[in-house]
Structure 1
């Protein structure tokens, strides 16, 4: 279930991550969704969606950090 726009992202992403971070999340998720289509490419028993979300959050964490306020801020 790739995302076609940032408005489709999960609430946790839309509510707490700046727009640029949301774009990073969307692109990383969609790329990982394609990359991990084959179960043999994933670790353990995680689903394709779980793997894609992990990759997307890792991509966001390269540029953003979670603040004490619960929102994500540029590093």
Structure 2
């Protein structure tokens, strides 16, 4: 389901990703949630939620990289 605020994001995002990246994640997830509502638009047996999370992480990875400390940092 779409996220209304960044405080609604999963712990794995809130605990390790900077605020700006959390905003990117939320917007990308919500957009993908709408875009992949139709199962025919998704790959294989992916759920709508799985597809949206993949899109959200891909959006974050455009500007951030995971560091050796397990946290995400601006590239």
Normalised to the residue count of structure 1, the TM-score between the two structures is 1.00
Please give the residue correspondences for 1:29-48 in structure 2 after superposition, counting only pairs within 5 Å. Answer: 29-48=29-48
Normalised to the residue count of structure 2, the TM-score between the two structures is 1.00
Give 1:42 shift: 0.1
Equivalents in 1 of 2:2, 2:68: separation in Å?
30
Instruction: Give the aligned CA root-mean-square deviation in angstroms.
Output: 0.2
Task: Write the deviation string for residues 5-59 of structure 1: whole angstroms up to 9, x where unpaired.
Answer: 0000000000000000000000000000000000000000000000000000000
Which residue pairs with 1:57 in the alignment? 57
* Structure 1 ranges of 4+ moved more than 4 A: none
Which residue pairs with 1:6 in the alignment? 6
Equivalents in 1 of 2:71, 2:56: separation in Å?
16
Structure 2: gaps of 5 or more residues: none
More helix by share: 1
Give 1:64 shift: 0.1
Q: How many residues align?
A: 75
